[in-house]
Amino acid sequence: MTSLFTQEIRLSKRHEEIVSERLMLLQKMESKFGDLNKGKASQMQAAETAFKRNLSLLKDIEVAEQSLCTRIHPLPPPEVVSLETLYWASVEEYIPKWEQFLLGRAPYPIGVDDQKEAENIIQNEAQQ
């Protein structure tokens, strides 16, 4: 009976050792898990900071690009803008007439009855 009692005591002590080792391992795991969470949080913070910095840099680059574009291609004087507007209005007015002529559905659109005569006029003007 003493041997069973001694064995029971030894097993009880071994059980306590195992339970205390388990507790230490659980504490280590919690500590490592906390460290990992802290690392991930700091990585997320660093990524967010980098993202904000990159957005700021992109905005600065866009501002610099616009500044350079206005220096390279300054706005034309108002007279030129007015002439351009009148030119494109004239082009839009004559597009339908030229379109029909180029498709072969209408005569030469500049008020000349004979197309050959119109071609001669254009060639004469080009030679001068």
Residues 1 and 41 in one domain: yes
What's the rounded mean pLDDT across residues 36-57? 92
Is 112 within 8 Å of 118 (Cβ atoms)?
A: yes
* pLDDT confidence of residue 51: 95
Range of lowest pLDDT (14-18, 80-84, 115-119): 115-119
Residues 42 and 84 in one domain: no
Q: For tokens 């501002």, name the residue.
A: 63
Residues 67 and 7 in one domain: yes
Residues 60 and 113 in one domain: no
Residues 18 and 53 in one domain: yes
What's the rounded mean pLDDT across residues 100-120? 70
Residues 1 and 34 in one domain: yes
Whether the pLDDT of residue 112 is over 60: the answer is: no
What's the rounded mean pLDDT across residues 57-68? 93
* pLDDT confidence of residue 89: 92
Whether the pLDDT of residue 113 is over 60: the answer is: no
**Rounded CA gap, 128 and 121, in Å?**
11
Whether the pLDDT of residue 39 is over 90: the answer is: no
Residues 62 and 31 in one domain: yes
> What's the 3-state SS for the chain?
CHHHHHHHHHHHHHHHHHHHHHHHHHHHHHHHHHHHHHHHHHHHHHHHHHHHHHHHHHHHHHHHHHHHHHHHCCCCCHHHHHHHHHHHHHHHHHHHHHHHHHCCCCCCCCCCCCHHHHHHHHHHHHHC
CA angle 61, 65, 68 (to 5 degrees): 140
What's the rounded mean pLDDT across residues 2-22? 92
Count structural domains, the chain. Answer: 2
What's the rounded mean pLDDT across residues 45-74? 91
Residues 65 and 89 in one domain: no
Whether the pLDDT of residue 119 is over 80: the answer is: no
Q: What is the pTM of this model?
A: 0.39
- Residues of the domain holding 36: 1-74
